[in-house]
């Protein structure tokens, strides 16, 4: 079974629009971590945000914000006032530190196209 | 630059040849991971080292694949008798046991093309 699902394959927006990327995860562990990574065309995965399972407080960091809801097993990521440089593939990842050596389970990614 | 480095960045080989990739993690990181990413997919876990010990191997890692991390520093991933299905991006990541979230830092990857 897929542990991390990103249902949106590709999203296109116009610059300055807000965009939300969806992520649904599955785990039986009570302790887990969630991450969002960005992969620009150059290929290197860049860490964006993280959250642990005990902290459902949603936060804003610059133009990034996230909405973590354990009740729906969702960890959605929002970019406010998108820019062309935000164009990339975004991956949601889950790690289960107690039993799985902290390896990451990635979703299949959402390709974001920000048009000028 | 003190990030994760990988060499080579690109490798083109003929089917049946052996290839070896190298990963140099961030120096103070004791955890090292290998992932494989095929086109249009997210990275998939291959194997994990804590210091020099290989503690987990995915079922994706067939017996043609072997990874080492001598002395707990750099790591190598070797693929023997390459097949066209091995064509992918191979990503290395490192993290520190002291970091609560085990945030993994990724290298630029080695893109393998098997002809």
Evaluate if residue B95 carries a pLDDT over 80.
yes
d(CA B101, CA B103): 5
Nearest CA in chain B to A33: B101
To the nearest whole angstrom, how far is the Cα of B18 from the nearest Cα of chain A?
Answer: 24
pLDDT tens-digit readout, B54-73: 998 998 888 999 999 998 89
Contacts of B68 (CB under 8 A, 6+ apart): B54, B75, B76
Quote the pLDDT of residue A1. 61
**Which residue in B56, B91, B101 is closest to A101 by CB distance?**
B56
Q: How confident is the model at residue A100 (pLDDT cuts 50, 70, 90)?
A: low
Give the model confidence (pLDDT) of A1-37 as tens digits: 679 999 999 999 999 999 999 999 999 888 899 999 9
Count H helices and E strands in chain B, helices first: 0, 11
Tokens of B45: 């876990």
Q: Is the dihedral of CA B58, B62, B65, B67 positive or negative?
A: positive
Which residues of B fall below an 8 Å CB-CB distance to A? 31, 33, 35, 40-45, 48, 50, 55-56, 89, 91, 93, 95, 100-109, 111
């Amino acid at each position: 079974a897929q542990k991390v699902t990103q249902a949106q394959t590709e999203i296109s927006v116009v610059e300055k629009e807000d965009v939300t990327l969806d992520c649904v995860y599955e785990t039986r562990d009570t302790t887990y971590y969630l991450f969002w990574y960005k992969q620009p065309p150059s290929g290197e995965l860049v860490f964006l945000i993280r959250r642990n399972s005990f902290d459902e407080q949603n936060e804003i960091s610059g133009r990034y914000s996230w909405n973590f809801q354990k009740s729906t097993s969702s960890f959605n990521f929002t970019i406010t006032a998108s820019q062309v440089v935000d164009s990339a593939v975004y991956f949601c990842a889950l790690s289960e530190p107690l039993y799985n050596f902290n390896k990451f389970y990635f979703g299949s990614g959402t390709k974001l196209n920000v048009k000028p | 630059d003190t990030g994760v480095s990988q060499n080579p960045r690109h490798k083109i080989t003929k089917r049946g040849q052996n290839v070896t990739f190298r990963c140099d993690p961030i120096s103070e990181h004791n955890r090292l991971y290998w992932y494989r990413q095929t086109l249009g997919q997210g990275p998939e876990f291959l194997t994990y080292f804590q210091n020099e010990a290989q503690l987990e191997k995915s079922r994706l890692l067939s017996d043609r694949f072997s990874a080492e991390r001598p002395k707990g520093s750099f790591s190598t991933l070797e693929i023997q008798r390459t097949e066209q299905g091995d064509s992918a991006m191979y990503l290395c990541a490192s993290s520190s046991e002291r970091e609560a979230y085990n945030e993994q830092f990724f290298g630029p990857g080695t893109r393998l093309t098997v002809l």
